Structure 1
Amino acid sequence: MKNIDLPERVVVTGGASGIGAAVARTFAESGSRVGIISRTQESISRVLDNELRDLRDSIRWQIADVTDDTALTAAIDTLAQELGGLDAVVASAGIEGEMGASVLEVTTDDFRRVLDVNVIGVFHTVKRSLPHLASSTHPSITLVGSDSGFVAATGMLAYNASKGALVQLTRALSLELFEDHGIRVNSVCPSIVDTPMARRGMGVENFDDADFPVNAAADVAWSIAYLASARSRAVNGVNLLSDFGYSARSSFPA
């Protein structure tokens, strides 16, 4: 059933796995027209054969690396044409980098690659979506951040830096784009989410025995759906933590 408060036309980068795939499902099941962008044909085929199999006939897709401005521009323009415009964009593409590596072990190339995907890729996504979103009635952009933009853990140097950058990027974009184009910009910042990337980064097959709470990708997707909905029209420039309240805990040793 169509939820009249959700955007009609949505593009999701990183839409072939994890949070991005869950976002695509949430919007598509609610009646939105959805386009996903992923880096490889293999990832697109896999998600359409698995997580989005029952929705594959209604999902549009394009292949592009978010670090490639030319390819991403073409992908967004094509999807906007196929969907009849854009009302919402979700920037979910991201990588983790050299998890567990110390500052002396992290390579310059890998550090740069994480920033290129997680920060520059978001910049490209926002910039190239802007001409399409500007003509929407209730346009929005939602970035997929992380609690790692607020708190730090060892062995996650490049990832921490990239997600910290998104916190401020959300604020800066929310001011400029709302004033100039009426576009709201928010981010969702979850703690660990049960996704292939998180499992790979933590070296586990699943989180069944984790001694800490873990987000489901669908949990994050519903937070994103709210931020993209017309019902959140006053919510702008928010970095929404989804961490079970862990960042609110005092570290005072008493």
Structure 2
Amino acid sequence: RVALLDRDERGLRALQAELRASGIDSAVTLPVDVTDESSVRSAVEEAAAALDGVDVVVACAGVSGPFGSPVDEIALEAWNAVLAVNVTGPFLLVKHTLPHLRRSKAPAIVLLASDSSFVAAPGMVPYNASKGAVLQLMRALSVDLAPDGVRVNAVCPSIVDTPMARADLGVEPGGFAGADFPVQTAEEVARHVLYLASTASRPVNGHALVSDFGYLARSSFPA
């Protein structure tokens, strides 16, 4: 059983219809603004009541913010908007699901970070900074919540074929097929999340699962 939280109510309805068409009728859909604490609190309580508890939390709301903008041309409002969704959002979600997770027999939290948690793409200062913060948030939470038995890990993918990535890079749907760089699917990322959320990864805590086709492993030698 799963609860799907998103600010895009139309998207939620479409996803719920898709799940029902595939025979999954138990999904709960709830609108939420992850930057608003009262909205998160209400949605979490409603989800926990509908599901009779919470075992796993996946924080995957995210925005890219200004793309290709020099730092001195980025408005403070744009900077704050990226940090609010990408960093404050996961913090609030964890804060308000924690009382329920503490009652679970196998609680787990998975944060969606990025390979930009480790390397910086040019022209994406707010996004790069936010994903670095998500990585350290995961590490801090894994330490603080270990006494409660709550595992916290992160998935750090490179470019994923999503509407956000296509919009940033000016790619039409399906256009990544001809890209000269590797691109992964949302389904592949979901499998990584499922592993970290499941008891198959029971010993894994405080880990960043990087899925970048080996990019971070490559040396720049001779530099």
With the length of structure 1 as denominator, give the TM-score of the two structures.
Answer: 0.84
Say if 2:89 is the partner of 1:116: no
Say if 2:40 is the partner of 1:97: no
- In the alignment, which residue of structure 1 is the partner of 2:100? 132
Counterpart residue type for residue 66 of structure 1: V
- In the alignment, which residue of structure 2 is the partner of 1:151? 119
SS in 1 for 2:73: coil
| Distance in 1 of aligned mates of 2:46 and 2:24 | 18
Unmatched tracts of structure 2, length 5 or more: none
Counterpart residue type for residue 234 of structure 1: P
- In the alignment, which residue of structure 2 is the partner of 1:226? 195
C-alpha deviation, 1:47, in angstroms:
2.4
| Distance in 2 of aligned mates of 1:100 and 1:52 | 39
- In the alignment, which residue of structure 1 is the partner of 2:171? 204
- In the alignment, which residue of structure 2 is the partner of 1:71? 39
Q: Deviation string for 1:30-86 (max 9, x for gaps)?
A: xxx011000032221232344774256221011011001101111011111111111
- In the alignment, which residue of structure 1 is the partner of 2:160? 193
- In the alignment, which residue of structure 2 is the partner of 1:85? 53
Q: Percent identity?
A: 51
Q: 2:186 aligns with which of 217, 238, 251?
A: 217
- Aligned pair count? 221
SS in 2 for 1:86: coil
RMSD, aligned α-carbons: 1.3
Question: What is the correspondence of 1:160-199 to structure 2 with a 5 Å cutoff?
Answer: 160-179=128-147, 181-199=148-166
| Distance in 2 of aligned mates of 1:51 and 1:99 | 33
| Distance in 2 of aligned mates of 1:239 and 1:53 | 34
With the length of structure 2 as denominator, give the TM-score of the two structures.
Answer: 0.95
SS in 2 for 1:187: strand
Residues 107 and 186 from structure 1, CA distance in 2 versus in 1: closer, same or farther, beyond 3 angstroms?
A: same
C-alpha deviation, 1:183, in angstroms:
0.1
Residues 207 and 87 from structure 1, CA distance in 2 versus in 1: closer, same or farther, beyond 3 angstroms?
A: same
Q: 2:216 aligns with which of 228, 242, 247?
A: 247
- Detail structure 1 runs of 4+ shifted over 6 Å in the superposition: none
Question: What is the correspondence of 1:27-66 to structure 2 with a 5 Å cutoff?
Answer: 33-50=1-18, 53-55=21-23, 57-66=25-34
Q: Deviation string for 1:11-36 (max 9, x for gaps)?
A: xxxxxxxxxxxxxxxxxxxxxx0110
Counterpart residue type for residue 201 of structure 1: D
| Distance in 2 of aligned mates of 1:159 and 1:55 | 37
Residues 153 and 163 from structure 1, CA distance in 2 versus in 1: closer, same or farther, beyond 3 angstroms?
A: same
Unmatched tracts of structure 1, length 5 or more: 1-32
The answer to whether the 8 Å contact 1:47/1:53 transfers is no
Report the more deviating stretch, 55-64 or 150-159: 55-64
Counterpart residue type for residue 164 of structure 1: G
C-alpha deviation, 1:165, in angstroms:
0.4
| Distance in 1 of aligned mates of 2:61 and 2:121 | 21
Counterpart residue type for residue 246 of structure 1: Y
Counterpart residue type for residue 215 of structure 1: Q
